[in-house]
């Protein structure tokens, strides 16, 4: 990775266009008070789109808008190679991945094309200032190596010939179709699928081409979500279904219709219970440590069945934890 410094020659000032300034204000407003710095990458990116590169005055302007020390914005701009610290080609700035997988798959040949067609050295513009190039670290498309990124898009599975065709298209003022340049779709195996062959991987959603691979499983046999949504929670007032009546009648734990007058216990203190799960338990009528501590194995099975991730109660020892918290609460 080359040392990334600001360009020696800088403009006097920077200002967002009225349209971009209004956009930036909306972007900043998306974050809670005190967290405006979260908009730093978005604002820097918009500044780059406006100017073509990141200038020192732009960094200072973004820092002021976000109430950040200038050095913090400078750190972001100089860390990410997506930010250009000097003027780049007007038609294309080519970032060639030179990390090991791409280099093993021919990135050196792609760099040779850059040297011949753009400039012998990186970070220099072509004679007509339409193109520039640089070598960067892994851009996350290793499975489609070698690849380059041009502004927002990536061009993958390149050969020197297909890369030259991409450059030709940019030179004509076109935006060539991003993605693999050898005809394969995304990163599906180049020699054809060996599994999941029922799926249509052509453009668009990966929709099954014939019948669904399997009919949706009944809700109770579906894999349990890590954090079930509160919307799924059976409410205490809804009661069991007719078919469940017998089993539930024998195993239903003590349920409350509302939190006790002294308030509900903080069930999130039980390891494994998060805010969503606490809401789910409350909606079932479970509000206190004492309720949980009193569960029998049949009660656990009843609750397990409704939480849709069997085994968690035993695995995380909810009862042991609940007994401890209930004892703490009663002063024992």
Q: At what angle do helices 297-307 and 275-284 cross, to 10 degrees?
A: 120
Instruction: Looking at residues 166 to 195 of the shown chain, list those that interact with ligand FES (rule: CB under 6 A).
Output: none
In the DSSP assignment, the letter for residue 210 is: S
Nearest-approach distance from CB 95 to ligand FES, in angstroms = 10
Of these, 77, 139, 273, 286, which contacts ligand FES (CB under 6 A)? Answer: 139
CB contact at 8 A, 106 and 146 = yes
Nearest-approach distance from CB 132 to ligand FES, in angstroms = 19
Q: Work out whether the CA dihedral 41, 46, 52, 54 comes out positive or negative.
A: negative
Of these, 54, 145, 233, 322, which contacts ligand FES (CB under 6 A)? Answer: 145
CA-to-CA dists, residue 235 to 230, 256, 301, 327, angstroms: 10, 11, 17, 28
Nearest-approach distance from CB 190 to ligand FES, in angstroms = 16
Q: Binding segment for ligand FES among 55-63, 114-122, 135-143, 220-228 (CB under 6 A)?
A: 135-143
Q: Binding segment for ligand FES among 41-49, 141-149, 219-227, 244-252 (CB under 6 A)?
A: 141-149
Contact flag: residue 82 with ligand FES (CB under 6 A): no
Give the interface size with ligand FES as a residue count (CB under 6 A). Answer: 11
Of these, 62, 77, 114, 147, which contacts ligand FES (CB under 6 A)? Answer: 147
Nearest-approach distance from CB 141 to ligand FES, in angstroms = 4
Nearest-approach distance from CB 164 to ligand FES, in angstroms = 19
- Helices and strands counted in the chain (H then E): 13, 5
Contact flag: residue 138 with ligand FES (CB under 6 A): yes
In the complex with ligand FES, the residue whose CB is nearer, 180 or 285, is 180
Nearest-approach distance from CB 99 to ligand FES, in angstroms = 4
CB contact at 8 A, 136 and 95 = yes
Of these, 101, 160, 234, 240, which contacts ligand FES (CB under 6 A)? Answer: 101
Contact flag: residue 58 with ligand FES (CB under 6 A): no
Listed residue (59, 33, 146) closest to 100, CA to CA:
146
DSSP codes, 149-201: EETTEEEES--HHHHHHHHHHHHTT--PPPEESSS--TTS-TT--SS-TTB--
Residue 30 makes CB contacts below 8 A (sequence gap 6+) with: 39
Of these, 99, 159, 162, 187, which contacts ligand FES (CB under 6 A)? Answer: 99
CB contact at 8 A, 147 and 158 = yes
In the complex with ligand FES, the residue whose CB is nearer, 111 or 139, is 139
Nearest-approach distance from CB 299 to ligand FES, in angstroms = 52
Burial readout 88-113 (b: 16 or more C-beta within 10 A, e: otherwise): bbebbbbbbbbbebbbebbbeebbeb
Contact flag: residue 141 with ligand FES (CB under 6 A): yes
Distance CA 232, CA 242 (A): 18
Nearest-approach distance from CB 182 to ligand FES, in angstroms = 15
Contacting positions for ligand FES (CB under 6 A): 97, 99, 101-102, 138-142, 145, 147
């Amino acid at each position: 990775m080359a040392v990334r410094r600001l360009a020696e020659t800088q403009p006097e000032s920077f200002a967002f266009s009225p349209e971009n300034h209004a956009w930036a204000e909306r972007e900043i407003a998306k974050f809670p008070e005190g967290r405006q710095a979260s908009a730093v990458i978005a604002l820097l990116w918009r500044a780059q789109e406006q100017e073509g590169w990141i200038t020192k005055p732009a960094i200072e302007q973004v820092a002021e808008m976000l109430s950040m020390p200038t050095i913090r914005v400078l750190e972001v701009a100089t860390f990410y190679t997506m930010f250009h610290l000097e003027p780049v080609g007007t038609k294309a700035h080519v970032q060639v991945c030179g990390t090991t997988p791409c280099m093993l798959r021919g990135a050196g040949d792609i760099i040779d094309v850059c040297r011949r067609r753009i400039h012998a050295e990186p970070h220099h513009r072509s004679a007509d200032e339409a193109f520039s190039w640089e070598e960067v670290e892994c851009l996350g498309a290793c499975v489609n190596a070698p690849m380059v990124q041009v502004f927002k898009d990536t061009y993958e599975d390149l050969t020197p010939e297909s890369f030259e065709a991409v450059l030709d298209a940019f030179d004509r003022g076109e935006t060539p179709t991003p993605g693999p340049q050898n005809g394969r779709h995304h990163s599906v195996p180049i020699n054809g699928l060996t599994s999941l062959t029922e799926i249509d991987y052509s453009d668009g959603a990966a929709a099954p081409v014939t019948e669904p691979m399997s009919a949706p499983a009944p809700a109770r046999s579906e894999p349990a979500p890590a954090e079930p949504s509160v919307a799924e929670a059976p409410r205490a007032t809804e009661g069991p279904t007719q078919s469940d009546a017998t089993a539930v009648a024998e195993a239903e734990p003590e349920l409350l219709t509302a939190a006790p007058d002294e308030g509900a216990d903080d069930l999130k203190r039980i390891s494994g219970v998060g805010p969503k799960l606490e809401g789910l338990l409350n909606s079932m009528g479970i509000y206190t440590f004492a309720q949980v501590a009193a569960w029998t194995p049949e009660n656990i099975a009843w609750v397990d069945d409704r939480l849709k991730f069997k085994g968690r109660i035993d695995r995380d020892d909810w009862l042991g934890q609940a007994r401890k918290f209930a004892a703490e609460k009663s002063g024992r």
